Amino acid sequence: MTAQSTLVLIKPDAIRRGLIGAAIARLEPLGLEIIGAKVVRVSRDLAAEHYRQLREKPFFEQLLEHLQGTLHDTPYVLAFVLRGEDAIARVRDVTGATHPEQAHPTTIRGSFGRMTASGVMENIIHASADAREAQREIALWFKPEELLG
């Protein structure tokens, strides 16, 4: 298995709730290399492109507002690219299932995610689901020169 890169976003709900450190503390033991990291003010276009596969969903507008931080008065996310052996699946395992109540309690989302009246699953982080998604998302969020070679 060769090294893979994956995109992780610490979403505005995590930032608002003081959970940046908690999220990173769960990821750090994976021993992956951080090859990109930055603060991003998310435009509507970037949010819509990031979640393009969900554009037909009834919760799409709330989803964009969530990623843009409008719902949490926190207009930015933290974006990381992590690299290492089997990074995509290993980060997703630690992240847990999309629905916070279905995520295993020891995962990031199982520990910290929640459902709210906004209708969006506030599951505190995003992690690329597979190799194709990782490649697309890394190119969307980072310029090549922002990543360590």
Residue-wise burial string across 45-82, b where 16 or more C-beta atoms lie within 10 A, e elsewhere: ebbbebbeeeeeeeebeebbbbbbbbbbebeebbbbbb
CB of 128 to Mg ion, least distance (A): 8
Residues of this chain that interact with ligand UDP (CB under 6 A) are 54, 59, 63, 98, 120-121, 123, 126, 129
Residues 117-136, interacting with Mg ion (CB under 5 A)? 129
Nearest-approach distance from CB 37 to ligand UDP, in angstroms: 20
Could you tell which of Mg ion, ligand UDP, none binds residue 24, using a CB distance below 5 to 8 A set by kind?
A: none
Q: Is the dihedral of CA 137, 72, 66, 110 positive or negative?
A: positive
Q: Which residues are catalytic?
A: 126
Work out how close the CB of 112 gets to ligand UDP at its nearest, in angstroms, rounded to a whole number. Answer: 13
Do residues 66 and 120 make contact, with C-beta atoms less than 8 angstroms apart? yes
Q: Which residues bind Mg ion (CB under 5 A)?
A: 129
